[in-house]
Structure 1
Amino acid sequence: MKNITQNFGSIYTPVKALVVFQKNDPQGSTYVESYDMDANGYAVNAHPLSLSESSALANALDTSDELRRNFLKSSGLLPKNMLYINPDHDGYAIWYTPAMEVPLFFIDKLGIPNGKAAIPPLLWKGSKKDLYIFALQSVEAIEEQTPLYRAPFFNIYDDGRVCMGTVSVDIQPDCLLQEFMQLWESYFFNSYFSHLLGGKSPVQGNVIQLWQSLVGLGEEFPISALVKNGITLKKLLS
């Protein structure tokens, strides 16, 4: 027998129900009735909402608001590579990373060794659940009309959205900006590249041969191999 209890999620049971009544008059005065829930999930013991119940409800809502206020909040000065922040509860952030050398991982059947390789400048758009990545020719003078290029990797759709596969993405509702950026970059670079999406090479030429010529050899990434995807940074802001 295998103990799988650690895989069970938390179970929530109903304990209270509120019904809001409002008079059909110009003042629209309101009355709130509270119900307890019995063991079978039925509403019982109807009574006016008490002061203690009101305070408990206010505290629960305040905690939710606090989590929402912390999402994408910077822990200090804004990172220099941050371009745009939408701090709504379901918001997103857009930032860039310069050309650099990073460890990359590929499944065996691609015939590409794992190891460090040079990558081009990248533009990132991350939300709580989704990540989009594009390539840039340069990180100098980025503006709304800056053209974006297809990121030269596997596991990315034509619109730039990354297929995370089996990666377990866990972005908390109170995630601060710097941690948010670090988590997405870590999720992406620590996953294994496995297949092309959309049926087209994301670079000019053969993408497998490109990475075979870069991994572990210390060569600069050939910017001329990038392919435009027809959109600008402004499109990501909508």
Structure 2
Amino acid sequence: MMGLNIGSDRRDELAATSAILLYSTRNEGAVYGTVHPISAGKDGRGSIGAGRPIDRAALLSCLRELSQNAAPKAEFFPETVLAVSHDAVTWWCRPGMRRVFFDCPKIGKRSAAVPHPGLVFRAASNGFSVFALREDSRPTPSSKLHEPPYFNTWDWGKICIGTAHVPKRIDVSSTAGWESGFFESAFTHPNHGGKRVRHPKGEFAFWKEMLDGLYGEHFPKKLLVPMKTTLAELIAGKHGGVA
């Protein structure tokens, strides 16, 4: 699983420096609090020191400091960014020409700049995925998603990372790195699952035609396989089936 690190540029390791203990009654909840220093022992484990009563001003000051440090800094979102949550970033890749790399027995080691449809990428704490679009413009919540016509993908657009070099972070500034990790790694095999393209001779024949330049600079959208899901449902974490 890929790591998640959103909105933080800290490079220092976090260390426990103090602890707050709350004392409660059954009926009234927390009624008293103490703050304690934490010191590191010889074995590397921290120990809580003697406490002192915590006053209201100190508690409010602590909460303000936590709020300022935890709040994400405001940042400008480019047009390509579609949605950002605490554990995922979803963005749009415009249709156009882009180089692909193949390294598999039936196609060989080949590389060429080929046309791509509009794409939706999603980097999340539970995986990396890609979906195709029929429209060329920026998608809307009601836009229908299609199977990605690529090797190295599973059902529901999930990308097999393999040896691809992708960022460790999941944030808006890392989207270009995630895209590069997908396109600059070699397509080695079509993964098990549903149909990826509606080509009469299958995926290998389709990609041989793509690499040979049969389709010029325009991706053949009629070969895309529709999915029973929309962009809004993807962002919300809902799933459907293949049409």
Bin of the TM-score, shorter chain as denominator length: 0.7 to 0.9
Give the fraction of aligned pairs with identical amino acids, expressed as a percent.
20
Aligned residues: 216
Of 94, 97, 100, the residue aligned with 1:98 is 94
Shift of 1:44: 5.0
Q: Retained in 2: the 8 A contact 1:20–1:30? A: yes
Shift of 1:42: 5.1
Q: Retained in 2: the 8 A contact 1:17–1:43? A: no
Q: 1:59 to 1:232 in 2, by over 3 A?
A: closer
Q: Retained in 1: the 8 A contact 2:22–2:31? A: no
Gaps of 5+ in 2: 1-10, 237-243
Q: Retained in 1: the 8 A contact 2:20–2:33? A: no
- Distance, in Å, in 2 between the alignment partners of 1:39 and 1:15 is 15
Gaps of 5+ in 1: 1-9
- Distance, in Å, in 2 between the alignment partners of 1:61 and 1:160 is 38
Shift of 1:63: 8.0
Q: Retained in 1: the 8 A contact 2:21–2:33? A: yes
Report matched runs for 1:154-233 at 5 Å. 154-172=151-169, 175=171, 177=172, 179-205=173-199, 206-215=202-211, 217=213, 219=216, 220-233=218-231
**2:139 counterpart of 1:134:** no
Of 100, 103, 113, the residue aligned with 1:107 is 103
**2:42 counterpart of 1:39:** yes
The letter of the residue matching 2:156 is: D
The letter of the residue matching 1:22 is: Y
- Distance, in Å, in 1 between the alignment partners of 2:45 and 2:119 is 54
Shift of 1:129: 6.0
The letter of the residue matching 1:159 is: W
For the residue of structure 1 that corresponds to 2:222, the secondary structure is: helix
Shift of 1:43: 5.1
In structure 1, the partner of 2:23 is 22
The letter of the residue matching 2:175 is: M
Shift of 1:130: 2.6
Q: 1:231 to 1:63 in 2, by over 3 A?
A: same
In structure 2, the partner of 1:7 is none
In structure 2, the partner of 1:6 is none
- Distance, in Å, in 2 between the alignment partners of 1:40 and 1:105 is 51
* TM-score normalised by length of structure 2: 0.72
In structure 1, the partner of 2:241 is none
* TM-score normalised by length of structure 1: 0.73
In structure 2, the partner of 1:118 is 115
For the residue of structure 2 that corresponds to 1:213, the secondary structure is: helix
In structure 1, the partner of 2:80 is 81
Q: Retained in 1: the 8 A contact 2:167–2:178? A: no
For the residue of structure 1 that corresponds to 2:179, the secondary structure is: helix
Shift of 1:125: 2.0
Shift of 1:62: 6.5
The letter of the residue matching 1:196 is: P
Q: Retained in 2: the 8 A contact 1:16–1:37? A: no
For the residue of structure 1 that corresponds to 2:21, the secondary structure is: strand
Q: Retained in 1: the 8 A contact 2:149–2:196? A: yes
